[in-house]
Amino acid sequence: MPIAKVEPLLTTRSVSGPFDYRLPEAMSEVAVGSVLVVPFGRRRVVGVVVGLADRSDLPQDRLAEPLEALDAGVPPELVALGRWVGEEYCSTTARGLGLVLPPGVGTGAEARRVRPLVELEVEATEKGIEAISLGERLGLRQRAVLRALAAGPKAARQLAASAGSDRATLRRLEARGLVTTREVERRRRHSSPGVGAVREGVELTGDQRAALGTIVASLSGPSDGSSTRSFLLHGVTGSGKTEVYLESAREALDRGRGAIVLVPEIALTPQTMDRFRRRFGDEVALLHSRMPAGARYDEWRRLRSGEARICVGPRSAVFAPVRDPGLIVIDEEHDSSYKQESDPRYDAREVARRRAADSGAVLICGTATPRPESWHELERLELPSRVDGRSLPPVEIVDMRGGNPGPLHPKTREAFNEVARQGGKAILLINRRGWSTHLTCRSCGHAWECPHCDVSLVLHRDGGLRCHHCGHAEPKPGSCPECSSVTIARVGSGTQRVQAELADLLHPLEIFRLDSDSAASRGHADGLGRFERAESGVLVGTQMVAKGHDFPDVTLSVILDADGALRLPDFRSEERTFALITQLAGRSGRGEAGGRVLVQALATGAPSIRHAARHDSTGFLAEELGRRSALRYPPFSHLIEIALGGVEEARVERSAETVRELVAERLSADDELLGPAPLFRLRGRHRRRLMIKSERRHETVTAVREAVATAVRDRALRELAISVDVDPQ
Ligand code: ADP
Ligand code: ZN
Ligand code: ZN
């Protein structure tokens, strides 16, 4: 009796399979990757087959049979990848497998499932075509149907609309042998089909040819790990990276293999996607969460069957069922959206490396601002200049020390005035939304904070105070609750205040805004689109303005409070600051008029700011890697963060000590364990954090997983929420 080893897709940490089920004859096709509905206790749950066996250690009569096998199964290599993610990110096997399921399966057995869309297609037989001219006795509708079919087969749905036929009409025609019907699957499309496949590309530049040559050599080389297969494609925006991806994908396809192309958040990078579709047409499948489930399901199956061989999509597309991938591209590899911030907290860049290694694929990470990790670990391919030959715009640092009334330095104001006089375009980046960053009472110093989180409430233009962490909102106060004073200071500025200030300064020039508030209210394609179409104007926004979009006619880019992130205790803040300034500079001033970049900052001497001002990523990375090495930060170690949260502070404190001991006794001597350190209270939960620095990721992750498994079984820690983040961002 064949046995299926099934991992039930339950979300709790306390249940882990696989469990044995007896396969009845009717389920003889079940294989590794099959998705089953199984009885589990008193429930029905969805599970994935992770193995098959001839016999079970359990007695026959204790074994249950699966209730149902779903149509779409997961390719076995993705079962392995999903399990790996569950383990390596200290999550569970079930949650790891949840990532590789066909779209629309839903982990609850009762969830509404997506199925292929099947429709009835009708075709006239020869006898049917003749019937009209031979003047056979036909009903009105029957005649209309046969006329409509003279031009070729049609869907029953179309016939119903044009000829008024119903099922009965068609059945009668079929019974007389005048038509045949069959069920066909119809593909649900989310977007317009790619306009043909434009085969020919552009003529590559020398640098592009050199990069492609190296990539092609390793595509053709043995996949036994003896040749380099992971590359960092380093080049500014406009240096022709995408063209290299396209040609590399072509080479992979020519060798009969597939390709996966990861892009940051899909809404911000439609161009890359469009270019792949223009070049490869229907060979490209798109997968992203904003697509309707039906279309996503169909695209998934097109990849699974090999009908489509390239998948373009955001982070989750690293799990796309592309057959035999020969190439995996990560565009804008520095982008933080590659890290999933909910369990399983996987990093798509790491998963891509794993998948590339498993399938013998070449990995290309492309960016203008490489992560120190990639710079250190990958073979570099350089595209040192823009294809159009233009140089990068000069970057000027504007020193904000010595007090400045308002958010804009006089020099910055003057630069904006000049743009307004010439009727040009400018971008301003300030990485804070809202009006003021916080309110304080001028008399007693009272600060308005969120009642659920230990952070300041942010004033918004509509007059409300809002918490940017939990969404708490309250009306703007008229007076201080402590001392009743009515003199309340608005400190700091956000996008809304800067927008208003510029509107005053530059009237009547139009000021557009792009942040998550404006995006939520109008859809951000709108704000961006209006700015792009406008003759002149200023776009004010958060870091969204530095992502994905090129503005050829922008002559001035300004970044306010560029060193804001450097004041946070985060070892990645130099890297982030450098990337933000460089990305902004690279996306502007690309047209005839050239461009200028102003960087307002207090810490004008910070390495990230100094190097960004000279467009010097090599210099920055060398210095940053020196610092990382000295402090033993990634890429010279792995970090594992354990966050603990609960309602009662004293209890969280005690529990954190217990968890620390559980972890400490399992770590090896050269692992460093820091904390528990307090994190700010969030959504009413007091939090503590443990941090581990380790050089052996796998062993340490295993140790932490065991410690956490022990902790969740401990009754004393029952109310504690524990989350683990491997390589946190
Ligand atoms: P990146 O991805 O580095 O931003 P792209 O590949 O998008 O660069 O190239 C920038 C622009 O230059 C695009 O409009 C692209 O079509 C064009 N381009 C790229 N390579 C060439 C080339 N070899 N010859 C002419 N135009 C090119
Ligand atoms: Zn007061
Ligand atoms: Zn809050």
Ligand 2 centroid distance, CA of 591 (Å): 52
454 Cα: distance to centroid of ligand 3 (angstroms) = 7
Percentage of residues of the chain with pLDDT beyond 70: 94
Q: At what angle do helices 241-254 and 270-280 cross, to 10 degrees?
A: 40
Give the C-alpha separation, 545 to 542, whole Å. Answer: 6
Res 347: pLDDT:
97
Q: Taking 50 as the threshold, does the pLDDT of residue 323 lie above it?
A: yes
**What is the DSSP pairing of strand 554-559 with strand 284-286?**
unpaired
Q: What is the mean pLDDT of residues 356-372?
A: 95
Q: Which amino acid is at 498?
A: V
Three-state secondary structure call for residue 159: helix
Q: Is the CB of 198 under 6 A from ligand 1?
A: no
Ligand nearest to the CA of 242: 1
* 278-314: pLDDT as tens digits: 899 989 998 888 888 888 999 999 999 999 999 999 9
Distance CA 336, CA 633 (A): 18
Task: Output phi, psi for 577, to 5 deg.
Answer: -65, -45
How close is the Cα of 342 to the center of ligand 3, in Å?
Answer: 19
**CB 238 near ligand 1, within 6 Å:** yes
Provide DSSP, 365-403.
Answer: EEESS--HHHHHHSEEEEE-S-TT-PPPPPEEEEE-TT-
Task: Write down the pLDDT at residue 590.
Answer: 61
| Token pair listed for 331 | 């565009």
pLDDT reading at 268 higher than 70? no
- Whole-number Å distance, alpha carbon 447 to ligand 2 midpoint, is 8
pLDDT at 198 over 60: no
205 CB less than 6 Å from ligand 1? yes
Nearest atom within ligand 1 for CA of residue 387: 12
Residue 453 C-alpha to ligand 2 middle, in angstroms?
A: 21
- Looking at all shown ligands, the one closest to residue 684's CA atom is 3
Distance CA 438, CA 466 (A): 10
Residue 322: which of 351, 286, 292 has the closest Cα? 286
Closest protein CA for atom 23 of ligand 1:
204
- Please give the C-alpha separations between residue 42 and each of 45, 111, 148, 245, 303, in angstroms, as whole numbers: 10, 17, 54, 51, 36
Q: In what order do the strands lie in the sheet with 117-124?
A: 154-155, 117-124, 179-186
> Separation of 387 CA from ligand 1 center, angstroms?
6
Q: Among 241, 243, 248, 588, name the best residue to mutate to test ligand 1's pocket (greatest count of ligand atoms within 8 A of Cβ).
A: 243
Residue 1 confidence (pLDDT) above 50: yes
- Ligand 1 atom with the smallest distance to the CA of 388 is 12
- Cβ(239) – ligand 1 distance below 6 Å: yes
Q: Rounded to an integer, what distance in angstroms lies between the CA atom of residue 413 and that of residue 727?
A: 41
Does residue 436 register a pLDDT over 70?
A: yes
Find all residues with CB under 8 Å of 443, minimum gap 6, and list them: 480, 483, 485, 487
465: CA distance to ligand 3 center in Å?
11
Pocket test for ligand 1, best of 202, 329, 387 (most atoms within 8 A of CB): 387
Q: Is 241 in the pocket of ligand 1 (CB under 6 A)?
A: yes
For residues 390-416, average pLDDT: 89
**Separation CA 629–CA 195 (nearest Å):** 50
Tokens linked to 534: 């406008």
Please give the structure tokens belonging to residue 678: 């307090």
Quick one: tokens of 96?
């790891």
| Phi and psi at residue 584, to the nearest 5° | -65, -45
Q: 196: pLDDT confidence band, cut at 50, 70 and 90? A: very low
Closest CA to 323 of 341, 302, 338: 302
Q: Which of 132-136, 612-616, 722-726 is least confident?
A: 132-136
Task: Provide the pLDDT confidence category of residue 24 given band limits of 50, 70 and 90.
Answer: very high
Atom of ligand 1 nearest to the CA of 235: 3
Residues β-bridged to residue 646: 686
Is any ligand 1 atom within 6 A of the Cβ of residue 202? yes
Q: Please tell me the residue having the least CA distance from ligand 1 atom 9.
A: 240
- Residue 111: which pLDDT band, with cuts at 50, 70 and 90? low
Residue nearest to atom 20 of ligand 1 (CA): 240
Please name the residue ranges forming H helices in 325-473. 348-359, 372-377, 410-422
Nearest ligand to the CA atom of 469: 3
Q: What pLDDT is attached to residue 12?
A: 77
Structure-model confidence comparison of residues 216 and 140, the more confident one: 216
Tell which one of 234, 242, 248 to mutate to probe ligand 1, the residue whose CB is within 8 A of the most ligand atoms: 242
Ligand showing the shortest atom-to-Cα distance for residue 207: 1
Quick check: CB of 208 below 6 Å from ligand 1? Answer: yes
The residue-averaged pLDDT of 455-479 equals 90
Residue 102, token pair as written in the block: 């066909």
Q: What are the tokens at 32?
A: 């590794």
Mean pLDDT, residues 11-21 taken together: 82
Tell me, what's the pLDDT at 524? Answer: 46
Cβ of residue 583 lying under 6 Å from some atom of ligand 1 = no
Q: What is the pLDDT of residues 53-77, one digit of tens each?
A: 998 888 888 899 999 998 888 999 9
- Residue 195 has a pLDDT of 46
CA of 719 to the centre of ligand 1 (A): 55
The verdict on the CB of residue 470 being under 6 Å from ligand 1 is: no
Region of 434 (left: φ > 0; alpha: ψ -120 to 50; beta: rest) is left
Closest CA to 400 of 544, 584, 558, 586: 558
User: Is the whole-model pTM more than 0.75?
Assistant: yes
Task: Kindly give the number of the ligand 1 atom that is closest to the alpha carbon of 383.
Answer: 3
- Which ligand has its closest atom nearest to the C-alpha of 439? 2
Ligand nearest to the CA of 465: 3
Phi-psi region of 324 (alpha: psi -120 to 50; beta: other; left: phi over 0): left
Share of the chain above pLDDT 90, in %: 58
Residue with the nearest Cα to atom 15 of ligand 1?
240
Q: Which ligand is nearest to the CA of 208?
A: 1
Ligand 1 centroid–CA 248 distance in Å is 14
CA dist., res. 126 & res. 144, Å (int)? 16
Report, as an integer, the average pLDDT of 564-590: 86
- Is 243 touching ligand 1 by the criterion CB < 6 Å? yes
Question: What confidence score (pLDDT) does residue 545 get?
Answer: 83
Are 217 and 381 spatial neighbours (Cβ–Cβ below 8 Å)? no
Closest ligand to Cα 443 = 2
In this structure, what is the dihedral angle of CA atoms 150, 153, 159, 163, given to the nearest 10 degrees?
0
| Atom number, ligand 1, closest to the C-alpha of residue 368 | 3
Residue-averaged pLDDT of the chain: 89
* Nearest atom of ligand 1 to the alpha carbon of 331: 2
- Ligand 1 atom 5 nearest Cα: 240
- At 514-549, the pLDDT tens digits run 888 776 665 545 677 788 889 999 999 988 888 767
Output the pLDDT for position 593: 62
CB atoms within 10 A of CB 300: 23
Is there an atom of ligand 1 within 6 Å of 272 CB? no
* Tokens 């509404």, located at residue: 112
Residue 20 · residue 4 · CB < 8 Å:
yes
How far apart CA 415 and CA 699 sit, in angstroms, is 55
Q: Is 240 in the pocket of ligand 1 (CB under 6 A)?
A: yes
pLDDT of 194? 47
Whether 248 lines ligand 1, by a CB cut-off of 6 Å, is no
- pLDDT-derived band at 193 (thresholds 50, 70, 90) equals very low
Q: Which two tokens stand for residue 716?
A: 């004393």
Q: Give pLDDT, residue 550.
A: 72
Q: Mind listing the pLDDT tens digit for each residue in 326-359?
A: 999 999 999 999 999 998 999 999 999 999 999 9
What is the rounded distance in angstroms from the CA atom of residue 423 to the CA atom of residue 286?
A: 39
* Sign of the C-alpha dihedral computed for residues 178, 183, 188 and 192 taken in this order: negative
- Euclidean distance between CA atoms 435 and 498, whole angstroms: 8
564 Cβ closer than 6 Å to some ligand 1 atom? no
Residues 407-436, mean pLDDT to the nearest whole number = 92
